[in-house]
Chain A
Amino acid sequence: MNAQSAKADIPSPLGLLAELTHRCPLACPYCSNSLALEDRQNELDTSIWNRVFHEAAAMGVLHVHLSGGEPASRRDLTDIVAAAHAAGLYTNLITSSIGLGFERLRQMKALGLDHIQLSLQDVDATSADRIAGYRGSHAAKIAFAQSVVELGFAFTVNAVIHSANISRVTEMMELAASLGAGRVEIAHAQYYGWALPNRRALMPTREQVARAMRDVEEVYPRYEGRMLIDLVVPDYYARRPKPCVGGWGQRSLNVTPSGRVLPCHAAETIPGLQFWSVHDHALEAIWAESPAFQTFRGTEWMLEPCRSCALRDSDFGGCRCQALAIAGDARATDPACELSPHHSLMNRIAETDSALAESDYIYRGRRRRADATPM
């Protein structure tokens, strides 16, 4: 399948996450963006994104996820959509809907936008707006969903799950269905980016997680054939790690607003990795040769117990950023794995953090805690 790859052992990527901007009206405390948000003046312009999309398609990328921050914060979003579509990519817009009016949505439909993914924070406006740090966001999203359906888009609702909404997973799926979503993602918070410093405020208890998993299982058959339900399972109470991003440098790549190319959202938290920029190199060269992609690609870098593990080619040792955050070494086994010597530490962190039930968020991109700033 990869006979045409530049190097035989390097697969062609399937997905490109384009972080068009880090600007966002919302301030969700689990945002996957890096803590050091990038400035507007460093953002790639339309023509560079156009080149990146064409390079991506030529190297085998099929899906582009137009994300942020909030992509609608860019005035040239419709041009970006048109460029991605013209490159032959399947275009997915990941949005909060804030700042995205009907007319721009209609234009993007005409320009070939394939799919819209809308985030919902909760089922009731008070809680949802508090999580997003933005009054009126929930009502705006509900209205936006109607426009999405009216225009005939394929439509996914994404719900990040954490202690403040985990008891309403069933209601979230029901809300998604009632809004006309063909697919819903129930995504348990992943503790990197802004979620890591907010772990005490976000971490559910083991019992809450077990119950939420049962809720999804119960609801699943009800929507069979009508709405797809995809589950991103929680790590901290797991026994096995997720194959993070489908394996480092195996399936996907991220381009940040200023053009640095990363193997995953959080890769910049790992010290010593060298990231290349689309300003200096072609995307295919970055994928195949840049030190950041080569460092953890394949299995050569692994330590025990991963190195001799039968699952090493399927779970790739889990998440490098989580290994760094918990085990203190990015080469270590993801502590979500019960074979990791740090597995019990991870369980203890989850139990301790969830028991603290911290109620104040460190809002993404804002300086003060919730109690210090009026929403």
Chain B
Amino acid sequence: MQERVSPRLPEYPRLAAGVRLQFDGRRGLWVLLGPERIIETEGPASEILQRCDGSRTVEQIVDELARLYAADRDEIANDVTEMLSELVMKRMLVG
């Protein structure tokens, strides 16, 4: 458990205990499930989450996304950092 309130990103982010990412066939999108929480994700957000498996660093995730979308790396880095920070604050992501 983290000692500090700081939303510093974990080195190898992975989903917290009790948090699952699964494909919802009925709705045709990826859903992040936690206690009393459902977050629907599509496109880049689901691609980021699928890579939060504890085997990749944040930098690697950014690299992969930048390649996948042939997009500007800095822009992708901002998006990834923002999204992962929010999930850390919601206790859905750990490292």
Interface, chain B (partner A; CB < 8 A): 1-2, 5-7, 16-20, 22, 24, 26-27, 29, 31, 33-36, 38, 88-91
Contacts and interface: CB of A to CB of B under 8 A. Distances in A.
B35 A154 contact: yes
A92 interface: yes
A228 B2 CA distance: 14
Given A92-B35, A226-B5, A152 B24 contact: no
- Lowest 7 CB-CB distances: which A-B pairs, in order? A154-B18, A60-B26, A90-B33, A115-B18, A115-B35, A225-B5, A225-B89
A14 interface: yes
Given A62-B31, A154-B35, A228 B26 contact: no
A152 B6 CA distance: 23
A224 interface: yes
Interface string A103-127: 0000000000011010000000000
A154 B35 CA distance: 8
A156 interface: yes
Contact of A90 (B6, B7, B20, B90): B20
Given A60-B24, A182-B91, 8 more contacts: A63-B36, A153-B17, A180-B1, A182-B35, A225-B88, A226-B2, A228-B90, A230-B36
Contact of A114 (B5, B6, B20): B20
6 contacts: A1-B27, A60-B26, A62-B31, A115-B34, A117-B35, A154-B35
A94 to B, nearest CB: 11
Interface residues of A, number: 30
Interface string A224-241: 111110100000000000
Contact of A154 (B19, B38, B90): B19
A228 B33 CA distance: 15
Contacts, number: 70
A225 B35 contact: no
A12 B29 CA distance: 14
A41 interface: no
A4 interface: yes
A225 B7 contact: yes
Contacts of A60: 24, 26-27
A154 B34 contact: yes
Given A62-B38, A225-B2, A225-B88, A182 B33 contact: no
Interface in A163-200: 180, 182-183
Contacts of B34: 115, 154
Interface of A: 1-2, 4, 12, 14, 58-60, 62-63, 88, 90, 92, 114-115, 117, 152-156, 180, 182-183, 224-228, 230
Contact of B18 (A1, A2, A114, A180): A114
Contact of A225 (B24, B27, B91): B91
Given A63-B33, A154-B34, A183-B35, A12 B27 contact: yes
B27 A226 contact: no
Given A225-B6, A225-B88, A62 B18 contact: no
Contacts of A230: 36
B36 A4 contact: no
Nearest to A251: B38
Contact of A62 (B5, B7, B24, B35): B24
Contacts of B6: 225
A63 B38 contact: yes
Contacts of B27: 1-2, 4, 12, 60
A115 B7 CA distance: 23
* Most A C-beta atoms less than 10 A away, residue of B6, B18, B91: B18
A14 B22 CA distance: 14
A284 to B, nearest CB: 11
Given A62-B38, A225-B5, A154 B16 contact: yes
